[in-house]
Amino acid sequence: MKSLHEYATYREVKSQPEAWSQALDVINASALPQAGDYDLVIFSGCGSTYYLSLAAAALYQELTGRTARGIPSSELLLNSQNILTEKKTLLVAVSRSGTTSETVKAVEMFKARGRGDVVVISNYAEALSHLGDVNLVISKGQEESIAQTRSFASMYVAATALCARMVGRDDLLSAMGKLPDLGNRLIGQYESFAKELGENVNFERFYFLGSGSRYGLACEVNLKMKEMTLTHSEPFHFLEFRHGPMSMVNENTVVVGMLSDANRAHEAKVLSEMEMLGATVASLGESDANVEFRSEVPESVRGVLYLPVLQFMAFYRSVAKGLNPDRPNNLTAVVKLDL
């Protein structure tokens, strides 16, 4: 039986706070565009980085009051008439490898049509990073494993800090400096909690609930559960879960809630109701949760703290099921298409 440290995924989840720190350094050292220069910001990626784009767009609009959208790169490329307008636009293109076909082609199309400026966020200085007006490369987020963990988190920290910088919120950037130490503490404190839930193969289905900017993160951790463990898993906004999906809840269900501060009362009530229906509930939040951040970092910029424990949950479930978390079925690290 392999030891935990023989799995690249384990090492990458465990070491990710170092990549968060580099992401902050890269943002602080870069000349970045200002929110006031654009009427629309589009965040775009594929798979995990599309979910990152959903989270980042919600955060950008929250912080700036300006319109932002999270769009799959394939949609931007193939159905741009549904997305692009005459508004002055900034495209933030996100790709772990920097070579994802749809994202590279979407950026090339966007630039060829003169639609606006481009910021690239990646972990490798590959093709995509030569196309941006600003290129942000977080090399410490690079990975051996196929499923994104450290890479996603590092790029999400960069996208969060980018939003704060674009709106001139130096107070938020300063607060984000605490995140790497907080991440290390949470990993040490709650890895065993993730292991206990993940190794219970009696659970048949997982639901990840998150609203606002946390919905994109719920989509991402749901994807980790699907990729690594081949388990039925779905993401939902908190209150939407009552509108049909709760019919699937029973004693073999885990409902994970990514609690906010502002809407906690409504969100906690959903979790309580699911517990009454027999589900095992796992809550994450600043306080009064199964996983408590105790961060004192503003809610808008601490979202990355939800990730490590839930990534570990998927990792431990994969190992318990006799799967290889480093090499999920049918997947490759980079999707390259003939476009």
Structure confidence by residue, pLDDT tens digits, 115-124:
999 999 999 9
Averaged pLDDT for residues 320-337? 78
- Provide the pLDDT confidence category of residue 172 given band limits of 50, 70 and 90: very high
The pLDDT assigned to 272 comes to 98
Indicate whether 48 pLDDT > 80. yes
Indicate whether 209 pLDDT > 80. yes
The pLDDT assigned to 335 comes to 60
- Measure the CA–CA gap between 207 and 230, rounded to whole angstroms: 14
The pLDDT assigned to 328 comes to 82
**All domains of the chain, ordered by start, with CATH?**
4-176 (3.40.50.10490), 179-320 (3.40.50.10490)
The pLDDT assigned to 332 comes to 65
Averaged pLDDT for residues 56-62? 98
- Provide the pLDDT confidence category of residue 167 given band limits of 50, 70 and 90: very high
- Measure the CA–CA gap between 20 and 183, rounded to whole angstroms: 9
> What rounded mean pLDDT belongs to the chain?
96
Indicate whether 300 pLDDT > 80. yes
- Provide the pLDDT confidence category of residue 73 given band limits of 50, 70 and 90: very high
Averaged pLDDT for residues 196-201? 97
- Measure the CA–CA gap between 239 and 283, rounded to whole angstroms: 15
- Measure the CA–CA gap between 277 and 126, rounded to whole angstroms: 49
Averaged pLDDT for residues 140-150? 97
Q: What is the pLDDT of residues 81-95, one digit of tens each?
A: 999 999 999 999 999
Six-digit token string for 186: 């949470």
- Provide the pLDDT confidence category of residue 125 given band limits of 50, 70 and 90: very high
- Provide the pLDDT confidence category of residue 2 given band limits of 50, 70 and 90: confident
Q: What is the pLDDT of residues 214-229, one digit of tens each?
A: 999 999 999 999 999 9
State if pTM tops 0.85.
yes
Indicate whether 331 pLDDT > 80. no
One-letter-per-residue 3-state SS of the chain = CCCHHHCHHHHHHHHHHHHHHHHHHHHHCCCCCCHHHCCEEEEEECCHHHHHHHHHHHHHHHHHCCEEEEEEHHHHHHCHHHCCCCCCEEEEEEECCCCCHHHHHHHHHHHHCCCEEEEEEECCCCHHHHCCCEEEECHHHCCCCCCCCHHHHHHHHHHHHHHHHHCCCHHHHHHHCCHHHHHHHHHHHHHHHHHHHHCCCCCCEEEEECCCCHHHHHHHHHHHHHHHHCCEEEEECCHHHHCCHHHHCCCCEEEEEECCCCCHHHHHHHHHHHHHCCCEEEEEECCCCCEECCCCCCHHHCHHHHHHHHHHHHHHHHHHCCCCCCCCCCCCCCCCCCC
